[in-house]
Structure 1
Amino acid sequence: MTPFGRRVREHRAKRGITLAQMAEGLGVTPAYLSALEHGKRGRPTFTLIQGTIHLLGIIWDEADELVRLADLSHPRVTVDTAGLDAEATLLANRLAREIGALDAEDLRRLGGILDEAAARRDPPA
């Protein structure tokens, strides 16, 4: 499941909307919407994201979060390390090879490291 798909499913459950009802409201098939949620389709289109926000009645911060999650939900990622340090290429290749064996805690810890690095790089104003 993608981050976007997981959050959409949470919002649907809170509102009591089935996958079939949401698909009909968005003008897509239930199979397509299910595939999108489970990462068997690429990143959702801007139109689908906006339709989802409207259909689910999502506003403000939650809408911004859904847009951000959609951007981070492409199931097939390419990491271009050309011109970077050899350590970047090593890390990208190790992650590609080993990500399937990482458990949820490992993934959270790696995400935390990336969050810390971003905070050091871009301190709050």
Structure 2
Amino acid sequence: MTPFGNKLKAHRKARNLILGDLADKISVSVSFLSQVETGTKRIPDGMVDRIADVLQLNEQERSDILAAAAISQPKVEIKLAVNAAEFDRKLASTFANSFARLSDGEKKALFEVLKDK
């Protein structure tokens, strides 16, 4: 299960909701919600906010589940402005294509540079 699935399940159970109850409240099938919770389906845009609203999550819980959803997605997009400079496009492309070959040390160094931006 993904970090998002773990948080979702914990919040759902804390509110005594079974999967079907929550699925009905956010207008998705039980099967689909189960697949999202277990990480076999991608979390659709807007779903986390709908879940947070239905579960009446406080500000910290909402922030935590949004962060968990972000790191649980199988793909990450680098969003560039339509008029992004050629260098920015080249940098994003190089980063995406090179990521799997970076060592753990290089990834940690990049994280330190970027974490507070």
What 5-or-longer segments of structure 2 have no aligned partner? Answer: 78-91
Query: How far 1:91 sits from its partner (Å)?
Result: 3.8
Query: How far 1:50 sits from its partner (Å)?
Result: 1.3
Aligned-partner residue type, residue 4 of structure 2: F
What 5-or-longer segments of structure 1 have no aligned partner? Answer: 93-109
| Structure 1: distance between partners of 2:5 and 2:49 | 14
Q: TM-score, normalised on structure 1? A: 0.63
Q: TM-score, normalised on structure 2? A: 0.67
Per-residue CA shift, 1:19-55, capped at 9, x if unaligned? 0100011110110000001111113321x11110011
| Structure 1: distance between partners of 2:53 and 2:32 | 19
| Structure 2: distance between partners of 1:88 and 1:27 | 37
Aligned-partner residue type, residue 101 of structure 2: L
Q: Is residue 2:25 matched to residue 1:14?
A: no
| Structure 1: distance between partners of 2:72 and 2:9 | 14
Per-residue CA shift, 1:3-25, capped at 9, x if unaligned? 11110000011111100100011
Query: Cα distance 1:51–1:121, how it changes in 2: closer, same or farther (>3 A)?
Result: same
Aligned-partner residue type, residue 70 of structure 1: A
Q: Which residue is equivalent to 1:32?
A: 32
State, as a whole percentage, how many aligned pairs show the same letter: 23
Show structure 1 runs of 4+ deviating over 4 A: none
CA contact (8 A) 1:43 1:71 kept: no
- SS of equivalent residue, structure 2 residue 43: coil
| Structure 2: distance between partners of 1:14 and 1:62 | 12
Q: Which residue is equivalent to 1:59?
A: 58
Aligned-partner residue type, residue 31 of structure 2: A
Q: Which residue is equivalent to 1:68?
A: 67
Q: Which residue is equivalent to 1:41?
A: 41
Q: Which residue is equivalent to 1:121?
A: 113
Root-mean-square deviation (Å):
3.3
